[in-house]
Amino acid sequence: MKEYKVRFKVAWHETDAARVVHFSNYFKYFERAELELYDYLGFNYATTLKNSTMWFPRVEAHCKYLSPCEFNDEIEVIMNLAEMKEKSIKYNMRVFNLTTQKISAEGYITIVAVDRNIGKAVALPKDFAQAILKYFNQ
């Protein structure tokens, strides 16, 4: 199965007084990988939010912290499709620290398609679901 990867450097403001990336920021890294994938596949989340009542809130997030990242470390977020259901998707995430050559964190996020008007989970848009499946099944 294909993975989706994004690379970037740790920003100064992402560190805390322990001189490592604050643990909450790994969830921002996870989301960055996810939203960049949608962008790459041609599904702009910004446009979806503006032109429809659909949004994709996270319903679950998890992370194990294995090795810290420091300011300016180059990191890679590696994203896999863990499970796709009718209304939700679970992505596995791994943060690899290219500077230290260690796995920094492992986790997952689960998102669900929700219609804001009715406030309930609905089926994932078909073309969206298919594009994601197609990408990871390459």
Kindly report the backbone phi and psi dihedral angles of residue 108, in degrees, each rounded to the nearest multiple of 5, phi listed first: -155, 160
Is residue 17 close enough to count as binding its own copies by CB under 8 A?
Answer: yes
Burial-class residue 62 by CB neighbours within 10 Å (0-12, 13-18, 19+): middle
- The least CB distance from residue 67 to its own copies, in Å, is 10
Q: How far apart are CA 106 and CA 96, in angstroms?
A: 9
Site string for its own copies, 49-88 (x = CB under 8 A): x-----x-xxxxxxxxx--x-xxx----------------
- Please tell me the count of residues contacting its own copies according to CB under 8 A: 38
Q: Which stretch binds its own copies (CB under 8 A): 13-21, 87-95, 120-128, 130-138?
A: 13-21
